[in-house]
Structure 1
Amino acid sequence: MHKHRQERVLSDTAPRGGTAAGLQRLRRWMTVLLAAILLLSVLLGIAVWKAWKPLDGSASSSASGASTGSQDSGTLPVPDNSWALTVVSPSEKISSSFQPQLTTYGSVQVDKRIVPALERMLADAKAAGYTLQVTGGYVDAQTQEKLYQKKIQAYMQQGGKTRAVAESEAAAVTPPGGYSENQTGMAVTFPSDASFLASDGYHWLLNHCVDYGFVRRYTDDKEGRTGLQDDPSHFRYVGTYNAQTMRKLGLCLEEYVLYRHNQSVSN
């Protein structure tokens, strides 16, 4: 009787076939799940490595391009501030030591150091569907003085102004020889007619000029600092970093040069 009861207990505690099969299936699923997790971890690691590797390569390439100034790198030449930030205005005569490095670009002359940036800006504008035409560039002192005297005569004859008043007003539009930044070769002008100034091409120029180192030089709100009236067609090369910083800070060239001076003194 006792032996019979013991056999029943052993029979009751033995794993049933269904339960054993379930445990086996669970082990298989856990094995598959662990393998999937390991595989996913490996793939994730490879993806992260690939994502970081190009960045390191591009950074090295950019650094190399910046140091060599290669046009193939896609970077513009870094301006030398001793010339790119030269200020010439009705109240500040151009230095006798300043000598532009002139070259012919289209139908005008400009300083050859701004040509790479100017060419790229016009090429990118064309790629965007806009043809920008440079209509003015370098003007020598003698020609500038003739333009100034002509403007004085026009104010006196057509406006009935005295010579003193005509000279003052003319200087705010066409400065005399030696006081116009057109003598730097870094200023360029575009068409000033109303149709161009209202065109999409002009708005592209306004929006993107700083990306190529150019700023719209004379605006109404800065007339008190520049000494010249608003001129939407006049753009000046100052270098890409400087142009972008001037826009960010809302400074004209006179203000920016003073800002840079104060920064260097404080540092």
Structure 2
Amino acid sequence: MKSIRTISATAILIALSASLVVGCEETSTKTPSKGTESAQTTETQGTKPSQQTEQSIDSKGSTEKEKTGASGNTTTPSTSTEGTTDKAGSILQVTTPDSVEVLVNKQYKLPDSYKPQDLVYPDVPFLFNEKIEKRMMRKEAADGLQQLFAGAKQEGIMLAGVSAYRSHSTQTTLFTRYVKKDGEEAAKKYSAVPGHSEHETGLAIDVSGSTGKCAAEDCFDGTPEAVWLADHAHEYGFIIRYPKGKEAITGYQYEPWHLRYVGKEAAGEIHEKGITLEEYSNVSTALK
């Protein structure tokens, strides 16, 4: 009897031990360690971005599409004569520098090696007699200038040339001198960085009255010569390149003496609409 009780007690103890072992195994299987949970969380975050992250990626993609346009090309002015390539920062180099409508300003530059191949001496009076570089213009512009001077003379307005074409090296010398005199920031308001000067195109000229009074100075504004030019220059294919009130667009102060040849059609439209060459070329971003 005692032996039977001993065996029963032993069996009960064995059964209880087995139950405890099974319970521990189930608990271990159902509850992962803290390290395993972190690994699972990291993997989940790595394979599925949060809603905020997905929205950011989509937003960035939309922004890039808006900047490049539907075709995927970099946005540039839509003028057929602009022809800009070689983007470097905010500076674009023109690829059709020989076009009479070419846009040259603080954003658009001429190739450093560019030199017009049809420079001539227009048959008009200048404030100097020497046949030097700054007396030259491209043939088409020179012809237009001769007609402009003749038209002005018929109405009693006597004009004289001050400065026309400048080579890249000449513009470099001038700009360097102005920077030393007034500082770079101030110099950029009235003088162009080499490669960005309209005078390098051979299509621009500064003019004054025949006496030379107020030549290329603010006091030229309001003179009979300045008034006549503002009213009639477009009839001969020229525009006042840097008009009053458009400084934020052209990037330069008002210069009533600075004429730019663009051809009669373009000049007529620019004059009629009261716009700048930037606006005509669909480039109206403020330039500083």
Which bin holds the TM-score, normalised by the shorter protein?
0.5 to 0.7
Is 1:184 paired with 2:211? no
**Residue 100 of structure 2: aligned partner:** 84
Q: 4+ residue runs of structure 1 moved beyond 3 angstroms?
A: 95-99, 193-198
Q: Which has the higher contact order (CA 8 A, sep 6+)?
A: 1
- Measured after TM superposition, the shift of residue 194 of structure 1 is 6.0
Aligned with 2:158 (options 124, 128, 131)? 131
Query: Computing the radius of gyration over CA atoms, which structure comes out larger, 1 or 2?
Result: 2
The structure where strand makes up a greater share of residues is 2
- Tell me the TM-score normalised to structure 1 length: 0.58
Query: Contact 1:91–1:227 (CA<8 Å) still a contact in 2?
Result: no
The percent identity for this pair of structures is: 29
Alpha-carbon displacement from aligned partner over 1:37-91 (angstroms, at most 9, x marks no partner): xxxxxxxxxxxxxxxxxxxxxxxxxxxxxxxxxxxxxxxxxxx996111111122
**Residue 176 of structure 2: aligned partner:** 149
Aligned with 1:103 (options 116, 120, 142)? 120
For residues 251 and 223 of structure 2, the distance between their equivalents in structure 1, rounded to whole angstroms, comes to 28
Give structure 2 stretches of 5+ with no counterpart. Answer: 1-95, 127-134, 208-214, 284-288
Change (3 A) 1:193 1:227: closer
- Tell me the TM-score normalised to structure 2 length: 0.54
Moved more, 211-220 or 179-188: 211-220
Alpha-carbon displacement from aligned partner over 1:78-117 (angstroms, at most 9, x marks no partner): xx99611111112211145854221122551111111221
For residues 119 and 257 of structure 1, the distance between their equivalents in structure 2, rounded to whole angstroms, comes to 27
Change (3 A) 1:115 1:151: same
Query: Contact 1:87–1:94 (CA<8 Å) still a contact in 2?
Result: no
For residues 205 and 129 of structure 1, the distance between their equivalents in structure 2, rounded to whole angstroms, comes to 13
For residues 167 and 144 of structure 1, the distance between their equivalents in structure 2, rounded to whole angstroms, comes to 14
- Measured after TM superposition, the shift of residue 248 of structure 1 is 1.7
Is 1:120 paired with 2:147? yes
- Measured after TM superposition, the shift of residue 126 of structure 1 is 0.6
**Residue 246 of structure 1: aligned partner:** 270
Structure 1 segment 1-267 matched on structure 2, within 5 A: 83-95=99-111, 99-100=115-116, 101-105=118-122, 106=124, 107=126, 108-155=135-182, 166-190=183-207, 191-193=215-217, 196-258=220-282
Aligned amino acid, residue 193 of structure 2: P
The structure where helix makes up a greater share of residues is 1
**Residue 40 of structure 1: aligned partner:** none
Alpha-carbon displacement from aligned partner over 1:176-234 (angstroms, at most 9, x marks no partner): 21111110010010133566543323211211001111110112422222121211211
User: How many residues matched?
Assistant: 170
Give structure 1 stretches of 5+ with no counterpart. Answer: 1-79, 156-165, 260-267
Name the SS for the 2:225 alignment partner. helix
